[in-house]
Amino acid sequence: MKKLLMGNEAIALGALRAGVSIVTGYPGTPSTEILETIAREAKVSGSRASRAYIEWSVNEKAALELAAGAACSGARVLVTMKQVGLNVASDPLMSLNYLGVSGGMVVAVADDPGPISSQTEQDTRRFGLYAKIPVFDPSTPEEAYLMIADAYNWSERYGRPVILRPTTRVCHSYASVEILPDLPQKPPAGFDKAEGRWVIFPNLSYRSHIKIEEGLVKMGEGFSAYFGNQLIGDKAPAEEGDDPVQAPTLGIATGGVSYAYAMEFLDPLPPQAKLLKVGTFPFPASLALKFLNGLDEVLVVEELDPVIEDELVRLCGINQLKITIRGKRSGDMPNAGENALASVGEKIESFLKRKIWVNISDLDKEELPETTLSASGLSPAFASLSEVPPAALAAAAAAAAVASGPPPPEAPPLPVRPPVLCAGCPHRGSFFAVKEAVRKYAKGRKAVFSGDIGCYTLGNAQPLDMVDTCLCMGAGITMAQGINRAEALKGNSDSLNFAFIGDSTFFHTGIPGIVNAVYNKADIIIVVLDNFTTAMTGNQPHPGMGRNVLGADAEKISIPAVISALGVKAIEKVNPFDIKTADLAVKSLIEKSGVRAIVFEGPCIAVSKSVSPCIVDTAKCTGCQSCIKKLGCPAISIQPVSAGAKLKALIDPVLCTGCGICKEICAFGAIGGAAL
Ligand code: SF4
Ligand code: SF4
């Protein structure tokens, strides 16, 4: 059955056909109708869309993070935005590529050449190359409808998000699209803690980077055989006895809507030309090399950045091919604005009628601008480092040494310090209180703990093990919403989703996530870990502290008051060192539903005064090790009080701040203050 569809409608129906179950986005021309179409379809009883979760998020970052939480729970997700919205979502997207996904994620980013309704003429293909994320670039609504299903398959095959990048004329043009049967749809598998796989730590990022690079090479190879990339008019050499074949010497490389324009003039293709259509990135280099074989000149027809052009120039350089590449860089094509049917036709016509060979080596060196010679940073007087007289180099080195002063004394070797929350850290009490409350009151409900960026990410370490996800600043609150939505789609409607966030991160990007949760009726527990400072970066002030960078008084913004003003009704405020009170506060929130919050207020040890250290009464200590196994405070160790004696807990008085949390853990009353 064929249906007349706008490009954005085709993308929406293509995503539903592919089994998308979570759809988020922020409106922006030319992308808006994608999500609107799915919302309209959701009103049709029994439709796939009616079973999906759909929301307009508070911004593109929140939309992407929520979808990331769902994609980490195995759901196929779609996030929609325009190109400038990608700037807002770039923080989570860049990191998510390193973290990976288990359900397919397509980020539909509509570019706006012209621009017609945007501040910039950004090219999302370039963003994809920069972010190391594959990009699918459809040329028509029909192609977009088919391509999005492939985009999900590629996303799941490589476990990474992918971008679908239509441009205005693909989004807003109409075409008759063949509607195909729905593809099989799997319910989300649900969130799997998978040994910290979803927490982005530097060593994970390093390993992921290697995998990403390997994946990009494989994808580039695979894309050479993908239907979105086409080589048209390539002729096999004549066999003996056959009529001689006129080998094309001119090539036209194009992609996106420019391909559709070009084909208006090139169908049938003249015998002297062949055509390369590029619909995916990483660039299909093998196919492009086949295209370049035997050509003298290539005209590149594309909108926005010279992305295809640059790739072809690079390929020619690597393979030492003497081919003139004409496009934006050569001044043959406009470097701004939209392409149009007439302008593309004019350029192609002119290209096919003429053939001008300009070889850079034929130009006199004097004609090159001075900047070419000085591009290395050397004075134009020297073309390379080898031409600089040794005396001049020695003088420059001596001058640099004088300017930088005497070398600093060698630093002593640093002690090995495992990544763990400090002794006396208030976050230890907060994590412990939540963990214990979940153990006692969750009654078998699945609990997932989303973390955020800050020293409290270390709450993921044993024995606390309280951070299941960490993506980027402010993402904990939104990821918790996504995981909760995916669990609900799986049929688990009572999952407990906690979102931990520090005070500085709360002000950085946490607030929009709360607005999103309240507006979209989420079911999560927000846990603010307020330690009265920006601890991880060196105790800088933030808006909740009442002083500014100069130490002068500033308006002190109350975190509980902000949360309340955002519409959260159930809010608790507790001292993380008072475990019993905190336990009851968390219990009361577990028993409620909707968006609720608890604010733990306790100072970082770097800004608070240490009291007398605690000590262990070895006569009472049974050596049960509960204080170690439950808390993981680095001040507590276990060792024999004398050679061969039974193991007892020991508190290091240098490290212990006297916070007293361990006193509440010990069931034998063996830990007390210094006066014990
Ligand atoms: S009182 Fe206990 S938990 Fe607190 S710092 Fe000292 S040893 Fe660690
Ligand atoms: S101090 Fe208490 S909790 Fe720690 S090992 Fe001794 S008895 Fe067990």
Residue 51, domain member (yes or no):
yes
- Model pLDDT for residues 520-562, shown as the tens digit of each residue: 999 999 999 999 999 988 889 999 999 999 999 999 999 999 9
Binding site for [4Fe-4S] cluster: which residues? Answer: 621, 624, 627, 633, 656, 659, 662, 666
Strand order of the β-sheet with 324-326 is 230-232, 273-277, 250-254, 297-301, 324-326
Q: Is 623 in the pocket of ligand 2 (CB under 6 A)?
A: yes
Residues 597 and 624 in one domain: no
**Residue 378 predicted with pLDDT over 80:** no
Structure tokens at 354: 């003429």
What dihedral angle (degrees, nearest 10) is formed by the CA atoms of 37, 39, 41, 47?
140
Give the phi and the psi of residue 461 in degrees, each rounded to 5: -70, 155
Of 337, 358, 379, at which residue does a domain stop?
Answer: 358
What pLDDT digit, counting tens, does each position of 320-337 carry? 999 999 999 999 999 999
Section 231-245 average pLDDT: 74
Rounded Cα–Cα distance for residues 306 and 420 (Å): 48
Domain boundary among 314, 337, 358: 358
pLDDT of residue 240: 67
Q: Does 148 sit in the ligand 1 pocket, CB within 6 Å?
A: no
649 lines ligand 2 (CB under 6 A): yes
The reply to whether ligand 2 has any atom less than 6 angstroms from the CB of 661 is: no
Kindly state whether residue 463 falls inside one of the protein's structural domains.
yes
Q: Does residue 8 fall inside a structural domain?
A: yes
Pair 251, 298: CB distance under 8 Å: yes
Residue with tokens 């940073």: 377
pLDDT value, residue 245: 67
Same domain, 78 and 179: yes
Nearest atom in ligand 2 to 628's CA: 4
- Which residue has better confidence, 354 or 220? 220
Q: What is the mean pLDDT of residues 200-217?
A: 93
164 assigned to some structural domain: yes
> 670 alpha carbon to ligand 1 midpoint, in Å?
13
Query: What H or E segment, with its residue span, contains residue 596?
Result: strand 595-601
pLDDT band at 231 (very low <50, low <70, confident <90, very high): very high
> What b/e string do you get for 430-452 counting C-beta neighbours within 10 Å, with b at 16 or more?
bbbbbbbbbeebeeeeebbbbbb
Mean pLDDT of the chain: 90
pLDDT-wise least confident of 48-62, 483-497, 609-623: 609-623
Residues 576 and 619 in one domain: no
Answer yes or no: is pLDDT of 382 > 90: no
Pocket test for ligand 1, best of 427, 661, 663, 665 (most atoms within 8 A of CB): 661
Confidence of residue 365 (pLDDT cuts 50, 70, 90): very low
pLDDT at 411: 64
Residue 656 Cβ inside 6 Å of ligand 1? The answer reads yes
> pLDDT grade, residue 380 (50/70/90)?
very low
DSSP letters, 181-235, are: PPPP-PPP-----GGGTTB--HHHHHHHHHHHHHHHHHHHHHHTTSTTSEEES--
Question: For position 191, what pLDDT does the model report?
Answer: 96
Q: How far is CA 396 from CA 94, 400, 408, in A?
A: 40, 6, 20
CA of 657 to the centre of ligand 1 (A): 6
58 lines ligand 2 (CB under 6 A): no
Q: Which of the pair, 103 or 376, is modelled with greater confidence?
A: 103
| Model pLDDT for residues 569-613, shown as the tens digit of each residue | 999 999 999 999 999 999 999 999 999 999 999 999 988 878 899
Number of independent structural domains in the chain: 4
CATH code of the domain in which 9 resides = 3.40.50.970
Segment 296-316 mean pLDDT: 98
**Residue with the larger pLDDT of the pair 419 and 628:** 628
Do 526 and 435 belong to one domain?
Answer: yes
pLDDT (average), residues 134-148: 97
Same domain for 582 and 659? no
pLDDT given for residue 401 in this prediction: 47
Residue nearest to atom 4 of ligand 2 (CA): 627
Domain ends where: 579, 601, 623? 601
347 in the same domain as 323: yes
Edge-to-edge strand ranges of the sheet holding 77-82: 53-56, 22-25, 77-82, 105-110, 162-164, 135-136, 280-281
Known binding-site residues equal: 621, 624, 627, 633, 656, 659, 662, 666
pLDDT at 179: 97
Ligand 1 centroid to Cα of residue 430, in Å, is 14
Residue with the nearest Cα to atom 6 of ligand 1?
A: 656
Question: Residue 224 domain-assigned?
Answer: no
Same domain assignment for residues 540 and 668? no
**Domain co-membership, 17 together with 118:** yes
Decide: helix, strand or coil at residue 136: strand
The SS3 call for residue 5 is strand
Domain coverage including residue 585: 426-601
Whether residues 513 and 655 share a domain: the answer is: no
Q: Is 597 in the same domain as 625? A: no
CATH number, domain with residue 634: 3.30.70.3270
Separation of CA 429 from chain center: 31
Listed residue (544, 543, 549, 552) closest to 573, CA to CA: 544
Q: Is the pLDDT of residue 188 over 50?
A: yes
The answer to whether the CB of 571 falls within 8 A of the CB of 423 is no
One domain, residues 256 and 342: yes
Asked whether residue 195 carries a pLDDT value surpassing 80, the answer given is no
Residue 252: which residues within 8 A CB-CB, separation 6 or more?
262, 266, 273, 274, 275, 276, 298, 299, 300, 301, 348, 351
CATH code where residue 349 lies: 3.40.50.920
For ligand 2, mutation pick of 614, 618, 647, 668 (most atoms within 8 Å of CB) = 668
Domain check: are 587 and 623 in the same one?
A: no
| 410 inside domain | no
Is the CB of 633 inside a 6 Å radius of any atom of ligand 1? yes
Report pLDDT for 235: 79
**98: how many CB neighbours lie within 10 A of its CB?**
18
State which ligand 2 atom lies nearest to the alpha carbon of 622: 7
**CB-ligand 2 contact for 634 (6 Å cutoff):** no
DSSP 240-277: TTSPPP----EEEEE-THHHHHHHHHHSSPPTTEEEEE
Other CB atoms within 10 A of residue 145 CB? 27
Ligand 2: atom nearest CA of 623 is: 5
The pTM for the full model equals 0.85
End-to-end CA, the chain: 83
Indicate if ligand 1 lies below 6 Å from the C-beta of 627.
Answer: no
Let me know if residue 384 belongs to a domain.
Answer: no
